[in-house]
Amino acid sequence: MDLRKVGNVDVFFDAGGFVQSVQLAGRALYLTTNPALLRKQFGGEILDPPPAVTELYSHVSTDAIIKANPDCYYYDDRLGTLLLRSLGGGGLIEPGDIRNGGFGMLFAGEGWGEGSSREVAALALLYAGIGIVYAPSMAPIHRQNLINNGMFPVADFSIARRLAARERVLLDDLTRSFDELSKKIARYGGLFRFMEARSQGRETDRPIESQPRPMTIAEKILARHMNTIHGAVKPGDSGFIQVDAGFSHDYTTAPAAAMIRSALGRGPKVKNPNSMHTFPDHLTLAGNLPGITSEALAGIQDLREGQKRVARETGIHFHATTSGGSTGICHTVIREEIALPGQVILGTDSHTCSAGALNCLAYGIGNTEIACIWEHNEIAGRVPRTVRIYLKGKLRQSCTAKDVILYFAHEGKSTGAFTGKVMEFTGPGLEEFSFEEQAVLSNMAVECNALTAIMEPTESMIRYLIERRGLQREEVRRMLVYADPDSDVDRIIELDLGTVQTLVASPGHPGNGLPLEKLRGTKLDMAYAGSCTAGDITSILMYAEVLRGRKVKIPTFIQYGSERVREDAKRRGVHQVLLAAGVHMIEEPGCGACINAGPGGPQKGQVAISATNRNMPGRMGEGDAYLANPYVVAASAVRGFICGPEHLSPAAVDV
């Protein structure tokens, strides 16, 4: 029997080259919220008895697993030294603590790996020696990234205890809860090995045998994109999904190519370059941040040069200006120019789900998976379950789609109702939202820990495709996908929009939403608006509605989501209104401060209010960030503390 190492985990392969069993060779690290117990473990002590699961850190995001800036500029074993140094806002785990401790397994609480889809979070664990991660629940993208890299996510506490005791555990026991395709990937020791076997004919696909049945929107789309016998799928079915468009960005393109070179001994090959895209949207402004190190600058340069090289060598579309700048945030441009109803759109950004506003199935993936899409134009996947959200009524005057999705983020964090599922939005209340506001709902589905969101077709979406994309109404009508009336879903949630309050998410998680009145008066140091969640023209108009004739009191930054939005704002005169209010307008579209890679993020000791989508520790910087809708962000910028537009004087006296 062959023995290989996955971090500090022994993986035993049988004579056929398949994983047979797993045994912990290193130590188990309990990610306890007690700093003293963490230090004891780093000092070599074994906790006896170990902490209860309720005493472990929960909702640890990928931003806490590995910092976006500057740690994600690397994609080599340096990641292992930097693992979890942002946990709890920093200072609990020093660089090298985990890697030097000989740990092979990590125990965490609920919601492990939420947030960004970046696969370096899985690689950082692996390079630090961690081959097994236990958590009662885990974000679906991060969980899949672990499996694809030959690692072992565990949700069964009895199995976890056996592993921690260094018992040799059969793969069949470890993967009992996996779908059939993930079991195969785990059996091969990772996605690349499985895909290589499949391309050589050693693995053959078995068509999905589900009988015809009423289906949800997502199920109908997958039934058209998967190999089925009867043209139907059901939740849990697994197989290969044909992809209509795939994309990556400057954080992920070069690392994905490097993974292919490492696994296959050659550069990437792209089967259908016309359907593949890459965007320099995350890092175009990162090099100008104060205090940035020469090492970080070198990392940025490496990522960006590597991205251009991959595009040049493979022929995939490189969405950059002539000077190499950003034309827009990847999933914003995908929504504006590329995605269509009924398609499958996949990208290396967790907010790929933004395109779900176009009645397509769009979700985020890791570097390994985009590499497989480049090579094969398909991806291993499974049919998710659906939660149907029926909206009715109308929002209050100062509420927006942001308040609705913050409401659901709180529900998702509290109950796990959406984890790994599709949020299917429907009902007469959906018609009340503009298309851009529907995109806010789909964009932040991942903050509810859902796989994605998808919108039932509405007239505003149809008009968007006609007016902005130049399509004919009949052409659009043929693309639209509707759920069957009697399709089976996990749960139906009915929400009267009139009951939704204006919410502000307190620092730490988008699910920390509180009524505005509870946080009103909280002092602020800065405001940031724009990026992908609130950098569309509808949001820009909301800022201008509040700021027209007024002046901001604190440093305020607004960044456009794309060149199209910027030019539209200038054409309407809105850009000038915002400049006159004293706003620092960031004209180059991109992710910017949302990912601590541009001006506007709170530094240590500072407090910001933001219209973006995430406020996990370290996400926007070392300071604290509150999340709110565009009206609240603009009003708070005028007063210098959290408030709503209803708290402003009618005229420009709040200067």
DSSP assignment, residue 592? G
- Sorted by sequence, the CB contacts under 8 Å of residue 554 that are 6+ apart come out as 524, 525, 526, 527, 637, 640
**pLDDT given at position 67:** 84
What is the mean predicted confidence (pLDDT) over 531-536? 90
Q: pLDDT digits over 79-114, tens only?
A: 899 999 989 888 899 999 999 999 999 999 999 999
The residue among 114, 159, 176 whose CA lies nearest residue 140 is 114
3-state DSSP helix/strand/coil % of the chain, to nearest 5? 40, 20, 40
**Residue 653 above 60 pLDDT?**
no
* Cα–Cα distance measured from residue 380 to residue 360, given in angstroms and rounded to the nearest whole number: 18
pLDDT of residue 204: 85
Write down the pLDDT at residue 323. 87
| Cβ 549 vs Cβ 634: under 8 Å | no
> What's the predicted TM-score (pTM) here?
0.89
Work out the angle between the directed axes of helices 253-264 and 294-314 (0-180°, nearest 10). Answer: 70
**pLDDT value of position 336:** 95
- Annotate 413-429 with DSSP letters as a single string: HHH-TTTTSEEEEESGG
Percent of the chain having pLDDT more than 70?
A: 99
Q: Lowest mean pLDDT of 68-77, 237-246, 590-599, name the range.
A: 68-77
pLDDT attached to residue 651 = 53
Backbone phi and psi for residue 9, each to the nearest 5 degrees, phi listed first:
-130, 130
Residues 289-335: tens digit of each pLDDT? 777 888 888 888 899 999 999 999 999 999 999 888 999 999 999 99
* 74-78, 333-337, 393-397, 577-581: range with lowest mean pLDDT: 74-78
Alpha-carbon span 173 to 162, nearest angstrom:
11
Helices (H) and strands (E) in the chain, counts: 24, 26
Average pLDDT over residues 350-362: 97
Residue 292 pLDDT: 82
Residue 589: strand pairing partners: none
Structural domains of the chain ordered from first start: 2-199 (3.20.19.10), 243-382 (3.30.499.10), 386-499 (3.40.1060.10), 504-647 (3.30.499.10)
Compute the distance between CA of residue 351 and CA of residue 256 in angstroms, rounded to an integer: 18
Q: What angle do CA 468, 469, 475 make, to 5 degrees?
A: 125
Residue, of 290 and 636, whose pLDDT is higher: 636
Residue 395: name the closest of 544, 492, 502 by CA. 502
Residues 257-264 have a mean pLDDT of: 84
What does the alpha-carbon distance between residue 390 and residue 495 come to, in Å, rounded to a whole number? 6
Please determine, for residue 179, whether its predicted confidence score (pLDDT) is greater than 80: yes
What mean pLDDT value characterizes the chain?
94
By the 10 Å C-beta count (0-12 exposed, 13-18 middle, 19+ buried), 23 is classed as middle
Average pLDDT over residues 513-542: 95
Span 157-177, pLDDT tens digits: 999 999 999 999 999 999 999
- For position 455, what pLDDT does the model report? 98
28-37, 191-200, 224-233, 482-491: the lowest-pLDDT one: 191-200
Contact 67, 82 (CB under 8 A): yes
Q: Would you state the pLDDT for residue 569?
A: 97
Residues of the chain above pLDDT 90, percent: 83
Phi, psi torsion values for 64, nearest 5 degrees: -80, -35
Tallying the residues shown for the chain, one arrives at 655
Higher-confidence residue of 116 and 378: namely 378
Given a cut of 70, whether residue 652 has pLDDT beyond it is no
Instruction: Say what the pLDDT of residue 654 is.
Output: 46
pLDDT, average across residues 608-617:
93
76: pLDDT strictly greater than 90 = no
Cβ partners under 8 Å of residue 38, min gap 6: 31, 32, 92, 93
Q: What is the pLDDT of residue 90?
A: 85
Integer-rounded Cα Rg, in Å, for the chain is 24
- Let me know: does 622 contact 636? Beta carbons within 8 Å: no
Residue 32 — pLDDT band, cuts 50, 70, 90?
very high
pLDDT category of residue 151 using cuts at 50, 70 and 90? very high
